[in-house]
Chain A
Amino acid sequence: MKSSTLIITVLITAAICLAGCLSTLSKVGTGIAVATGTMSAGQAESVNKVAVAAEKTFQDITPEQEYYIGRSVAACILKQYKVYDNKNANNYLNVLGQSLSAFSDKPSTFGGYHFIIMDTDEINAFAAPGGLVLVSRGLLRCCRNEDALAGVLAHEVSHVQYAHGLKAISKSRFTSLGTVIGTEALKTFGPSQLAEVTKVFEGTINDITSTIVNSGYARKFETQADAGAVTIMTRVGCDPNGLKQMLQEMEHRLKPGGAGFSKTHPDPKVRIKDIESLIKGATVSAPLAARQARFDKAMAGI
């Protein structure tokens, strides 16, 4: 073999080998952290190993798709509940809410976190996937201070960061979507394909909306959201006892068998019991009169 031929062979072999390495490297860690955005690469890897099949479904939901799902879920909820159009109150809710979401495990989403008040006496709150959070006036009335409200908002942010909404989607939707679009790289759908995909989209929106409005999440998701709320509040310096006080107030106000939280959430007493050990010994910032003043001012009309 001539030396030049040998060099060519060696170089080409090296190129093929490196290409192989590159492919392997880029595959490592391209797990569900991408889909849910809630886990570290290490956690995502371990989850990948134990639940490959279930994982695949969530891997298919990009943050962009989560954003479109969340927008329609929020729009469907706002068909049932009017918005409380008070600029000061809604602005305060967003400053507090975004101060909390910034310190969550998922500080950013495709379209960001946004908060709004629903004009209803019902005690209720919803977190649409991607970070659109809706809180009722009835629930705000259960909050006597900023820490209590922080408890409500941090709980909803936790539902977003753990992608609980997306987990309410029936697995069959993913199968249907996969059948329609497959690995299709086209960005624009043809008419029949669009009709099919929209049908799957409607089903997806319905799965999530009916879960959060009617049936409620599984108790383990609510417990996880309360624990997540305590973590976020502690990071920011809010007193997690605020969440407990809010739940105590809610217990007084909730009507058994009524709408809202009484049918979708565990009994406040149960939730309080679950968070007791978590809030013990939390280091919090000293309460300032300035915080109570700004809370009272923003919530004056509630």
Chain B
Amino acid sequence: MTRKIILTIAFSLVLALSTTIAGQKMMSVQNKKGEIRSSPSPLGNVVATVNYGDRVTVIEEQGKWIKVSTADGFSTGWMDSSALTKKVIKMNAGDKNAEVAASSGEMALAGKGFNSQVEAEFKSKNKDIDFTWVDRMEKIKITVSEIRKFLESGGLKAGKGGA
């Protein structure tokens, strides 16, 4: 019986690792928000958004563009490679395993080092430094369709799919 259990566990382990290596190349979203587009272009329509730390499955790579599918499998599309990292991003760091993995360089810890807590402390120490406009700047949102329209109406070649 014990042998059977060990055999089953060992077999499952081999199977799990083989699947990871052979089939699925995974990456993590390293920006606050990641946009999945319908085509490998900055002007491609946004078909889904993913969050910081989300894992996506890599399907295909085309230069700086990576075709991915979301963990739930519902969305597939293209992301620019600067939004992705090969590292696993641990959102809730705190356990020993995370420490070991982080020191090996295979994992990034969200909130490690300079983070919102450090910014808050910096603000409390430097009350004369005002973040109002920094926050307002970040709220300025320009959509893909606005950019497309801007390029097209200006007769710029990027708007004609020439880029």
Residues on A facing B (Cβ under 8 Å): 4-5, 7-8, 11-12, 14-15, 18-19, 21-23, 25-27, 29-30, 33-34, 37-38, 40, 59-65, 67-69, 71-72, 74-76, 78-79, 83, 90-91, 94-96, 98-99, 102-103, 105-112, 114-116, 132, 146, 177, 181, 183-189, 194-195, 197-198, 201-202, 204-205, 235-238, 283-286, 288, 290-291, 294
Residues of the A chain whose Cβ atoms lie less than 8 Å from the Cβ of B32: 64, 67, 110-112
User: Closest approach, in angstroms, between the C-beta of B11 and any C-beta of chain A?
Assistant: 6
Q: In the complex, which residues 75-100 of chain B have their Cβ closer than 8 Å to any Cβ of chain A?
A: 80-83, 85-87, 90, 92-96, 98-99
Residues on B facing A (Cβ under 8 Å): 3, 6-7, 10-11, 13-14, 17-18, 20-21, 30-32, 34-35, 42-43, 52, 64, 80-83, 85-87, 90, 92-96, 98-99, 102-106, 108-119, 121-122, 125-126, 128-131, 133-134, 137-138, 140, 142, 146-147, 150-151, 153-159, 162-163
Verify B154–A194 contact, CB threshold 8 A. Answer: no
Which one, B82, B104, B110, contacts A109 given CB within 8 A? B82
Known: A34-B87, A68-B119, A181-B113. A116 touches B155 (CB 8 A): no
Q: Find the B residue at minimum CB distance from A20.
A: B17
User: Closest approach, in angstroms, between the C-beta of A80 and any C-beta of chain B?
Assistant: 10
Please give 9 more A-B residue pairs, beta carbons under 8 A apart, in addition to A11-B14, A99-B156, A114-B137: A8-B7, A27-B104, A34-B85, A68-B118, A185-B102, A185-B109, A187-B115, A237-B163, A290-B155
Known: A60-B113, A108-B82. A183 touches B102 (CB 8 A): yes
Verify A22–B109 contact, CB threshold 8 A. Answer: no
CA distance A116 to B126 in the complex (A): 23
Residues of the B chain whose Cβ atoms lie less than 8 Å from the Cβ of A185: 90, 93-96, 98-99, 102, 109, 112
Residues of the B chain whose Cβ atoms lie less than 8 Å from the Cβ of A11: 7, 10-11, 13-14
